[in-house]
Chains A and B, each alone.
Chain A
Amino acid sequence: QSVLTQPPSASGTPGQRVTISCSGSSSNIGSNTVIWYQQLPGAAPKLLIYNTNQRPSGVPDRFSGSKSGTSASLAISGLQSEDEADYYCAAWDDSLKGWVFGGGTKLTVL
């Protein structure tokens, strides 16, 4: 059971916009920034969004992050086949004094 809660799966057709939610608590998302990682099949995770809504250089602006209270979201617009991957949210937890991850969301591009 992960501390952060994500839907196990999401899907969309090419060109569509999809969102992935991440629910936490006051000790993690509620008081710290949210990070999103993308893991392509067979690869190591890669940083996708940091500081809740910032994109590292090289990440397309189709990817965006947001947060409200103790929940966060990752939005992907103009869905492409290469976006098919697992997506994980993460945050520092002040109570646990450690990092917590969501269980991951498998995105399928139909």
Chain B
Amino acid sequence: QVQLVESGGGVVQPGRSLRLSCAASGFTFSSYAMHWVRQAPGKGLEWVALISYDGSNKYYADSVKGRFTISRDNSNKKLYLEMNSLTTEDTAVFYCARDASGSGYNWFDPWGQGTLVTVSS
């Protein structure tokens, strides 16, 4: 079955970096756009970034532009989120999600179980 498993979360100090991974299985990873979405504790969902099926197009939320980089490895069916200059405002559960298309403009289904990133000194 289609499955997305995030990893790489943890506690990190402000100003430091962290890389999240999302391992995909059960579908042709290279055919679909992928997203990262985050949810701060007790708050709503916030879209973070999108990468098209072949990595040629990337979009970012203004809140992370210039600090976060989304990438993918189609041969190993993995999605990544490199996060730099982290602040306490970045504390959240990060979900990866598959788009219904290769472009990323459709809908997110399914979602992974999430990985918690805590930015704290």
Contact = CB atoms under 8 A, between A and B. Distances in A.
Interface string A10-52: 0000000000000000000000100101010000111100110
B111 A96 contact: no
Contacts of A50: 100, 106-107, 109
Nearest to A92: B105
Interface stretch (A66-74, A76-84, A97-105): A97-105
B72 interface: no
B32 to A, nearest CB: 14
B95 A44 contact: yes
Given A97-B59, A99-B50, A2 B44 contact: yes
Contacts of A100: 47
A95 B89 CA distance: 24
Given A96-B62, A97-B59, A99-B50, A104 B45 contact: yes
Interface in B40-60: 44-47, 50, 59-60
Contacts of A63: none
Interface in B71-121: 95, 100, 105-114
Ranked nearest first, the 4 interchain pairs of A and B with the lowest CB-CB distance are A99-B47, A47-B109, A104-B44, A50-B107
A75 to B, nearest CB: 19
A102 B95 contact: no
A35 B61 contact: no
29 contacts: A35-B107, A37-B45, A37-B108, A44-B111, A44-B113, A44-B114, A45-B95, A45-B108, A46-B110, A46-B111, A47-B107, A50-B100, A50-B106, A51-B107, A88-B44, A90-B47, A90-B107, A90-B108, A92-B105, A96-B62, A97-B59, A98-B50, A98-B59, A98-B61, A99-B35, A99-B50, A100-B47, A103-B44, A104-B45
